[in-house]
Chains A and B, each alone.
Chain A
Amino acid sequence: MKQSRSLASGIVALIVATVIFILPFLFIALQAVKSKSEASRLNFALPKEWLFWENLVAVVEARNYQLLLAYFNSTVITVFSVSILVILSAMVGYVMQRRQSRWNGVAQVALLMGLMMPPAVVPTIGLLQSIGLFKTMTGMILIQVAYNISFSTLLYRSFIATIPRDLDEAARIDGAKPWQIFFRVILPLLKPVTVTNVVVQSIFVFNDFTNPLYYLPGRENITVQLTLYNFQSTYTSQYNLLFMNILLVTIPPLIVFIFFNRQIVTGMTAGAVKG
């Protein structure tokens, strides 16, 4: 009795998950291989002709290979901003956890405000313009770092709390300078959180649509999410190419997620329970 009930609830959960996660993906994949007129009907019917290769080439070649440039830009932004985030927030988390001073409270509030308050776009653009970083990759990288540092620091700080202070002190007696304690003893022990952080932040930065839209305008600055605009306009939409484009920009984060799925959960829950 009990067993059949748990079997039934398992099946229901699977069906719900399929409807929410698999069907939309299937829909995208289907439209991506149809012809323009078929795709404009936006249904689940199988295509008369499978135009996978043709659509792929059309998307990649669109606007003088703009998609390739977008991949390059997005990769540069992701790699640099995530690297800075990891090093910087691990350092901030370490200092905040280990050193008690009256600035801790201030830093704490700043951290929480970074999490809770939505960033204001217009003043940020004004600031970027005044320091000459508007419409530059550097500016975009710094924006991504600033927007995500709170979450990342909290993640590190709670994990560092589980590393015994004895290790810092043992290293100090062994003659390590503070930066050596951090880079040679603490940072290697943060690997589980670092993996989580790298994966979560990379996916977020790579998939970001709105921030590049506001802070990184200009043809040569295009990022992958913004290429979606190429096939949609007020009067005509090429749904087959649009969905092919969606498929292409979804794949890299999906691969990362599938491979690192387990580590993400480990890192997120690490430090929750002693052991």
Chain B
Amino acid sequence: MADLNLNQIHKSFGALEIIKGIDLDIQSGEFVVFVGPSGCGKSTLLRMIAGLEDVSSGTLTIDGKDVTHAEPSERGIAMVFQSYALYPHMTVAENIGFGLSLAKRPKAEIAAKVQAAADTLQLTHLLERKPKALSGGQRQRVAIGRAIVRDPKVFLFDEPLSNLDASLRAQMRLELSELHARLKTTMVYVTHDQVEAMTMADRIVVLNGGRVEQVGTPMELYNHPATPFVAGFIGSPKMNLYTGPFAERLGCKTYGIRPEHIRVSEDSGDWRGQVRHVERLGADAILYLDVEEASSMMVRLAGDTQLRPGDTVWASPQDSAAHRFAA
């Protein structure tokens, strides 16, 4: 349990500046998710917190202690890698206990801590196996177990679920949320998947091009995105965003409306368009419209809609839910 403060953090590789001055205060016990497109610097930022990358300038404190230039092992952090990074030649028990055995702790203590972590993660029956004999989800749990036994002040996760299949990912999201509720440790989680960010985070940090675009709770970001970038990134399916004459006519530089905030009628409305494609997801259906004044538009409808490609329809926004950006 510890606060984590980033103060004007910069990172450059040669002349290329990757992180362009980030200020961030993460409260003790918070689950913070860094989210952003590939190359936005989110993983680099996490690796700087871990101590795997040098900080070019700025200061980093954990629990009030300046750790900007400390070794990873002295920061009181634990990290779960995207590839899990399990030691292939060690059993699950040895993997989990490796850090403790490096610290030359007594064998009985190591065994007890490994057992406790294995109980938490339901790994007890797998302790003698090698990583190659485990499934993806089990490997993931071992990687988390290796983090838990270090009893860290801050957990760091680098896209830990991206190698799992969709159903397992949903299950692990739940398990990670429960783990956070039980341990109440500060957790920093990196992902490019906005669903993971929305479902797990206490607060989301949206990064773009090495800068913080917006920080807030998931619903703050969904309801009040500060920039078109955040508006387009948070929410699924994506918000419809328009620039140019269409937006200017509606009184702004960029106009945004979420697919779920558009009504569709067959006889009257604001914008006329033709149905290009219907994606049926069961409960919902996503309508792709070719609107005359704008380009394409996505609309979310109930799953039982009778519309078919080629139909002409009228779309109208719920005006209170529209987003008008000056940029």
A residues contacting B by CB (< 8 A) are 164, 166-167, 169-176, 180, 184-185, 188-189, 191
Which residues in B have their C-beta under 8 angstroms from that of A169?
50, 52, 72, 79, 81, 85
The distance from the CB of A16 to the nearest CB of chain B, in whole angstroms, is: 41
Which residues in B have their C-beta under 8 angstroms from that of A189?
88-89
B residues contacting A by CB (< 8 A) are 50-52, 71-73, 77-79, 81-83, 85-89, 98-99, 102-103, 146, 150
A contact face: mostly helix, strand, loop, or mixed: helix
The distance from the CB of A193 to the nearest CB of chain B, in whole angstroms, is: 14
Q: How far is the CA of A173 from the CA of B87 in the complex (A)?
A: 13
Q: How far is the CA of A188 from the CA of B95 in the complex (A)?
A: 14
Is B83's CB under 8 angstroms from A166's CB?
Answer: yes
Max count, chain B CB within 10 A of own CB: residue among A166, A170, A172, A185: A170
Looking at the complex, which one of A167, A180, A184 makes contact with B85 (CB distance below 8 Å)?
A167
Residue in chain A with minimal CB distance to B156 = A173
Q: How far is the CA of A169 from the CA of B77 in the complex (A)?
A: 13
The distance from the CB of B271 to the nearest CB of chain A, in whole angstroms, is: 50
The 6 nearest A-B residue pairs measured at CB: A175-B73, A174-B99, A166-B85, A170-B85, A188-B89, A173-B72
Which residues in B have their C-beta under 8 angstroms from that of A191?
89
Q: How far is the CA of A185 from the CA of B94 in the complex (A)?
A: 12
Question: Count of A-B contacts with CB under 8 A?
Answer: 55
Known contacts A171-B98, A175-B102; decide if A185 and B77 are in contact (CB<8 Å): no
The distance from the CB of A82 to the nearest CB of chain B, in whole angstroms, is: 22
Inter-chain pairs besides A170-B87, A174-B146, A189-B89, 5 sampled, C-beta below 8 Å: A166-B81, A170-B85, A173-B51, A176-B73, A189-B88
Q: How far is the CA of A167 from the CA of B83 in the complex (A)?
A: 9
Looking at the complex, which one of A171, A175, A185 makes contact with B103 (CB distance below 8 Å)?
A175
Is A172's CB under 8 angstroms from B52's CB?
Answer: yes
Which residues in A have their C-beta under 8 angstroms from that of B88?
189
The distance from the CB of B101 to the nearest CB of chain A, in whole angstroms, is: 9
Is A172's CB under 8 angstroms from B81's CB?
Answer: no
Which residues in A have their C-beta under 8 angstroms from that of B89?
188-189, 191
Known contacts A171-B98, A174-B73, A175-B73; decide if A185 and B52 are in contact (CB<8 Å): no
The distance from the CB of B30 to the nearest CB of chain A, in whole angstroms, is: 21
Is B85's CB under 8 angstroms from A172's CB?
Answer: no
Q: How far is the CA of A164 from the CA of B86 in the complex (A)?
A: 10
Looking at the complex, which one of B72, B83, B146, B150 makes contact with A172 (CB distance below 8 Å)?
B72
Can you list 13 contacts pairing A with B, beta carbon distance less than 8 Å? A166-B83, A169-B79, A170-B81, A170-B86, A171-B87, A173-B50, A173-B51, A173-B79, A173-B99, A174-B99, A175-B73, A189-B88, A189-B89
The distance from the CB of A167 to the nearest CB of chain B, in whole angstroms, is: 5
Q: How far is the CA of A88 from the CA of B146 in the complex (A)?
A: 31
Which residues in A have their C-beta under 8 angstroms from that of B82?
166
The distance from the CB of B20 to the nearest CB of chain A, in whole angstroms, is: 24
Q: How far is the CA of A188 from the CA of B90 in the complex (A)?
A: 10
